[in-house]
Structure 1
Amino acid sequence: MSSRLELTDNQHCFACGPQNPTGLQLCFAVSNGRARAEVTADARFQAYVGIVHGGIVATLLDEAMAYAAISLGRWTVTAEMTVRYLKPARIGERLILTGEVIRNTSRLAECTAELCTEAGERIAVARGKLLKGEPVPATQTTCRGVAP
C-alpha cells in the first residue's frame, strides 16, 4: 500500500465544484499563499431560521485554507482544523472568505481563515494543518483563471 497521497479533482467538490449543482460553488481568487472568495448562503444551507448552519461555516473556512495552500502548487487535504464561531452568519448576507498560509513545510501547510461580513465584522475564524499531496497540474486553474 502506497503512503503517497493521490488527489484528483473532478469538479464535483461540495464546496467549490462547478459541476455540483447542490454545492456551494465557491470561486476563489488565489495568489502566493492567500485565497479570497465572496459567498452568499441561501436557505438550502440554513440551520435555524435565517442562520447559516455551523457545518457550512466550517466548510467555508476549510475551503479557504485549502485554496490558500493549493495556491502554492500542491493539492491538500485537511489533517486538523479548529473553528471559533464568533457570531451567526446570516442567510442572504454577502460574506467575505479569506485564507492564508502562515507556515509552509515539505509535508504540511499551516493556515488560517476568516469569514467576515462586508463591513469587516468577523463571523468565524479557523486554524488548520493541511497535508500536501500531488502537484497541481500546470493546466489546472481556479475559477478566476489564476494558476497556482
Structure 2
Amino acid sequence: MKKIINPWKDMEGYNCFGCAPNNQAGVKMEFYEDGDEIVSVWKPRPEYQGWIDTLHGGIQSVLLDEICAWVILRKLQTTGVTSKMETRYRKSISTNDSHLVLRASIREQKRNIILVEARLYNSAGELCTEALCTYFTFPRQKAEEEMYFRSCEVEAEEADPLADK
C-alpha cells in the first residue's frame, strides 16, 4: 500500500473534522491506496463514545463518509459532496479496540454521480458498519477554483498503515 498525500495539509484555514492533522477535536484520518480500494486505519478514543466503551454511531458515519470522499479524491482526481449516505450498523465497536480498518471503493459511476461503498472493521476483522454514499462530483475546474484541489498523489514508498499506529 502507498500512503496518500493530503493535498491540503499545509493550507491555511484547512480544519476538516475528518482529515485535518491539526484539528484537535477531529478524527485525523490518514489514507492509503490498495489496488481499487482506499484504506484507513484509525484508533478509537474514549472521547468519541456514545455509550460506555462504545463508539458513537455518528463518529462511525463520519469515518465512513470521509473515506468515501477520499475515494473520489484519489481515484477520480476531483472533489464533490456527499448527497446521500445509507449506513448499516451491524456490530457495536469498542472504544478500547486497538484499531479499526476502513475500506472503500467505487461501486458504480453514472456521469458525475458516484456510488461509493465503505466498510468498517474492528481489529478482529469483523464487519461492524457499512455505508453506501452517493457522491456528486465536481468538474475539475470547479474543484480547483472552489476547493483548491489540484491533484491527489501517493508517496513513492510502500507503507504499512498498522505500523504508523
- TM-score range for the pair, normalised by the shorter chain length: 0.7 to 0.9
Preserved contact between residue 30 and residue 36 of structure 1 (Cα < 8 Å): yes
- Correspondence for 1:13 among 1, 11, 16: 16
RMSD of equivalent CA atoms: 2.1
Structure 1 residue 79 displacement after superposition: 0.4
Counterpart of 1:137 in structure 2 is 150
Q: Secondary structure at the match of 1:15?
A: coil
Structure 1: 5+ residue stretches without partners: 1-7
Counterpart of 2:38 in structure 1 is 35
- Correspondence for 2:84 among 80, 86, 93: 80
Structure 2: 5+ residue stretches without partners: 1-6, 157-165
Counterpart of 1:54 in structure 2 is 57
Counterpart of 1:5 in structure 2 is none
Structure 1 residue 113 displacement after superposition: 0.3
TM-score by length of 1: 0.82
Letter in 1 for 2:58: G
- Whole-Å separation in 1 of the counterparts to 2:105 and 2:58: 20
- Whole-Å separation in 1 of the counterparts to 2:35 and 2:83: 21
- Whole-Å separation in 2 of the counterparts to 1:97 and 1:28: 9
Q: Secondary structure at the match of 1:24?
A: coil
Structure 1 residue 32 displacement after superposition: 6.3
Task: Sort the Cα spacing of 1:68 and 1:33 in 2 relative to 1 into closer, same or farther, 3 A.
Answer: farther
Preserved contact between residue 34 and residue 69 of structure 1 (Cα < 8 Å): no
Identical aligned residues as a percent: 24
When the two structures are aligned, how many residues end up with a matched partner? 136
Greater helix share, structure number: 2
- Whole-Å separation in 1 of the counterparts to 2:88 and 2:113: 22
